[in-house]
A and B are shown apart, each in its own frame.
Chain A
């Protein structure tokens, strides 16, 4: 019987999954909500069901049962990192295959405290800080003092600490302290905040790494215990709210002269990432995020237990038998329990790939997301260019306000970095994206911002 997959997501990733299913010869069912009726993923889907909300587990599982699906792909965002969803999918009476890692992996590796502890046990460098929540301000001050001294020993010029809620995330309940006198009052404040917001008083203290590059390792593991990596990516260009805007693969430009041994750093972060994955028994796609400092230090920051938006640039530079890789296809194959058909040695890395995220946002107004209607959306097709978008080009498109305002992903390939960068500039020059806001004003996008930031790729930036 043909396997059938439920796509529990929208937009670009839903289109990618549909494409992968067709190539693999699987049936699929797409879901959509009222706001997304205009979206391309709905128009192109052969079978689709309207639901109330992409986050409604009960709805999704009802659709899956109704259509006799045997797999479910959560994409990214929404339920992709909800371990309860993954657990329910696996543990219900009519279980489905969750296209992603095990639910334990989502829960444990998604937990920063657990990750830090596990990494420390495996001698993987993590950002210096506490590995247990602190409840006591005397202890907090003591830890802070220890940390500041450690940073001094490691030779950091600029030393400061983050005090943050153990249960927090996404930039909530986090504050920077520069000297020891501030620790106690800030600690008390954060603890009260944590108690109010997350119900748990636990507080963490962590060193702030002032200047960084954000590098991540793309890992794929099968359920049979085989592991490969698809190189690294560099995502240093981020909005102030830690949202990525430009990603580039590979993660390092070895021609840049930093008086650092970049090759060594790359091979070590890959080695450590694989060590953690093997030790945990991780399977499916996963991304290990690292911070690299100009001093040549590197720290494991977090593990993303899902497919990422920027997965395709890794696929573009990885070649097996001279064909570039489709990571989503690989992910589905692994979920079906297949073995990997290749070894690490058979994966060859060639060229450079850049991803630009086109977003309707006002960069000057603190990256405020905008809503409105896209009237013109045109670009010049090139062999080196892939555009991933759910925005239709043949008629105006209203940007739904409920979801993130990503409009399109532009993936540019070049045989080397200089060429890729030039092509990216060229693409942005030729890109036409116009629209109006609901007030009738011209819709702003981050096109100019991207142009500007393309020039500082591969540099160390203040975090």
Chain B
């Protein structure tokens, strides 16, 4: 009887409330945190080059078809 009492005293009670664990799991694993990069001069330059190229080529639609984008 005394041994059983010692074992019971040494074991922590089981966690009955599962919601905190479930919420933690959903927060950590089930949601994707997308961090979009800040658009700076490099991106602005890339957009300018792309639009400039389309303005320079004689037939932009044919050019886009050749790119595989259209």
Co-assembled chains A and B: no
B interface with A by C-beta (< 8 Å): none
